[in-house]
Amino acid sequence: MESSEQQMRSVADTRGKHRISAELKQLEQEARFLEEVLENGEKENRSDNSEELEQVDKMDKASAVCKELLVNTQTRPDPLLPETTGPTSPLWDRWFERPPDASSCRCWIL
């Protein structure tokens, strides 16, 4: 019986060694791949960064663009909103105002 147990242990050890060596090879392969990706990425990033810096240098200042946008939006009316010069019916205002005697109002919203 001991010989069969020893054989099983040696077979299990061999499988374990094979599994460990396979995992080690896989990790080495992944490490090489990541190193290549990192090297290529650094090269691309250097060129991308210089291009981005050139584009930023060519751009106008943001504050000038924001001021222009603000002027354009404030001077033009919103095309989606109707233009009214006042309330169309003064009777509608009473629905949106507080009552004259707010203490007698039982409305929780106001």
Q: Which two tokens stand for residue 95?
A: 């629905």
Contact assessment for residue 29 and residue 35, using Cβ atoms and an 8 Å cutoff: no
Which pLDDT does position 28 carry in this prediction? 94
In a domain, 85, yes or no: no
Q: Please, how many CA atoms are within 13 Å of residue 15, restricted to the half-sphere of its CB?
A: 5
In a domain, 108, yes or no: no
Which of 12-16, 68-72, 76-80 reaches the highest mean pLDDT?
A: 68-72
Contact assessment for residue 74 and residue 68, using Cβ atoms and an 8 Å cutoff: no
Q: Which two tokens stand for residue 67?
A: 């001021």
In a domain, 103, yes or no: no
Range of the domain at 31: 2-75
- For the segment 24-57, what is each residue's pLDDT rounded down to a tens digit? 999 999 998 888 888 877 666 666 677 888 887 7
In a domain, 88, yes or no: no
Give percent of the chain above pLDDT 70: 62
Mean pLDDT for 2-6 is 66
- For the segment 62-72, what is each residue's pLDDT rounded down to a tens digit? 778 888 888 88
Contact assessment for residue 110 and residue 98, using Cβ atoms and an 8 Å cutoff: yes
